[in-house]
Homo-oligomer: A and B are copies of this chain.
Amino acid sequence: MENIVLVEGAGFCFGVKRAIEIAFDVAKKHKEGIFTLGPIIHNPQVVEKLKELGVCPIESVTEEKNIKTLIIRAHGIPKDKLEELKKKGYEIIDATCPFVKKAQSLAEKLCLEGYQVVIIGDSEHPEVKGIFSYAGEKAVVVTSDKIPNLNKKIGIIQQTTQPLSKVKEILNGIINSLNEFEEIRIFNTLCNFTAKRLESTEKVARNVDLMIVIGGKNSANTTQLANLCKKIGVKTYHIEDVKEIDKSWFKDVKKIGITAGASTPQWIIDEIIDKIKCL
């Protein structure tokens, strides 16, 4: 198998690279008691490598007793949680993605200026939970084109990894009720890297016989890439690891496209490409 097209921008995004670098840096400087609150990124292999260096993920601070340093992962955490951790006296290393930080501070600003904050995204995603905590009591999360009743003055932001097409659809739905609003203020908080990765993936997926989408099964943005490819109609496999590859997938396949989510390290992508080349 030689006819392999790797999608431009596949793999680690800026925020993820930054969070991992911060975690590895901290691991080098400290000897014990370093933890990440939740996995640093949605990729089990990276989490495993950090564990080897003594940086373990914990779900909450009550689980562990010997906590000295806490690393906040790229998704960010809710405001009250961050304040609580600071009060407890832990050393806090904030690796929240700058794009997510921007969405958090816009949520806070809009709320202070009297807007009802509308977050377009998945209410169960940790990033959205974090942003929501800055957005005030009246804030709402909108996930589909079913728009709830809103105030007359709204400020709209987005989960950074939402697909542009879905965001546009929801915004168009809101615009359709323009006569019910006094002001609609929209900040674009979408991550460029994610948007470009989706766009390049679509282009490749339309020109190959098979797509391999690499990334954690619990990674929303990887799942989004896989769903996009399936929607286009190309045969698609979402895998986390080289071991999952099955030779039978490639029968009668001439051209293969490869893409990877924002939490997928380059070494995993390389391993998988090498494996396919040898089939």
Contacts and interface: CB of A to CB of B under 8 A. Distances in A.
A167 B172 contact: no
A185 interface: yes
A178 interface: yes
Interface in A126-174: 164, 167-168, 171-172
B188 A185 contact: no
Contacts of A188: 178-179, 181-184
A187 B178 CA distance: 9
A72 interface: no
Copies of the protein in its oligomer: 2
A168 B176 CA distance: 6
Contacts of A178: 164, 167-168, 171, 186, 188, 190
A195 interface: yes
A85 interface: no
A92 interface: no
A175 interface: yes
Contacts of A175: 168, 171-172, 175, 186
A195 B168 contact: no
